[in-house]
Chains A and B, each alone.
Chain A
Amino acid sequence: MFIEVILEADIHCPYCAVVEKIVKRICSDLNIPFSVKYATPRSIASYEDTVVFHTYSRDWIERFGSNDQKKSLSKIAPILDLIQRRGLQSYPNLIIRWYDGVRFKEIVIRGYDAEKARDFARNLISLLRGLKRFV
Chain B
Amino acid sequence: MVQTVFYYASMVLVKFLVYIISKILALKKTFIKEAPREERLKPQYGWFESKNTMYSEIVWVGRATGLTVSIPQVAPTTQVVKPYQGKPPVRLYFTVSEAASKDWFKQIEELAEMAEKTMSESGE
Tell whether, in the assembled complex, residue A116 and residue B86 are in contact, meaning their CB atoms are under 8 Å apart.
no
Chain B contact patch, size range: 10 to 19
Are A113 and B97 in touch, CB under 8 angstroms?
Answer: yes
Size class of the contact patch on chain A: 20 to 34
Question: Are the C-beta atoms of A120 and B89 separated by less than 8 Å?
Answer: no
Tell me the bound Cα distance from A116 to B100 in angstroms. 6
Query: Within 8 Å of chain A (Cβ to Cβ): is B21?
Result: no
User: In whole angstroms, what is the CA distance A103 to B105 when docked?
Assistant: 20
Hey, which chain A residues are within 8 Å of B99, CB to CB?
109, 120, 123-124
Q: Are B95 and A104 in touch, CB under 8 angstroms?
A: no
A119 interfacial contact with B, CB 8 Å? yes
B91 touches A106 (CB 8 A): yes
Q: Of A51, A104, A120, A126, which one neighbours B96 at CB under 8 angstroms?
A: A120
Task: Pick from B94, B95, B101 the residue with the most CB of A within 10 Å.
Answer: B95
Interface 1/0s, chain B 93-111, versus A by CB < 8 A? 1111101110011001000
Binary contact track B54-97/A, C-beta < 8 Å → 1, others 0: 00000000000000000000000000000000111111111111
> How far is the CB of B109 from the nearest CB of chain A, in Å?
12
* Residue of A53, A107, A112 with most chain B CB atoms under a 10 A cut-off: A107
B96 pairs with A48, CB closer than 8 A: yes
Write out the residue numbers on chain A whose beta carbons fall within 8 Å of the beta carbon of B96: 48, 109-113, 116, 120
* Residue in contact with B87 in the complex, picked from A51, A103, A124, CB distance below 8 Å: A103
**B90 and A105 form a contact (CB under 8 A):** yes
From B90, B92, B100, B105, A120 is in contact (CB under 8 Å) with B100
Once the chains bind, are A104 and B100 in contact (CB under 8 Å)?
no
Would A48 and B100 count as touching, CB distance under 8 A? no
Which chain B residues border A51 with CB–CB below 8 Å? Answer: 95
Q: Contact between A107 and B95 (Cβ–Cβ < 8 Å)?
A: no
**Which residues from A are CB-within-8-Å of B88?**
103
B contact residues vs A (CB 8 Å cutoff): 86-97, 99-101, 104-105, 108, 112
Interface residues in chain A, defined as those with a beta carbon under 8 Å from any beta carbon in chain B: 48, 51, 53-55, 97, 102-113, 116-117, 119-120, 123-124, 126-127
Q: List 8 A-B contacts (CB under 8 A).
A: A48-B97, A54-B94, A54-B95, A102-B87, A103-B86, A103-B87, A104-B86, A106-B91
Given contacts A53-B95, A107-B91, 11 further A-B contacts (CB under 8 A): A55-B93, A102-B87, A103-B86, A103-B87, A103-B89, A104-B90, A105-B112, A106-B89, A109-B99, A123-B105, A127-B105
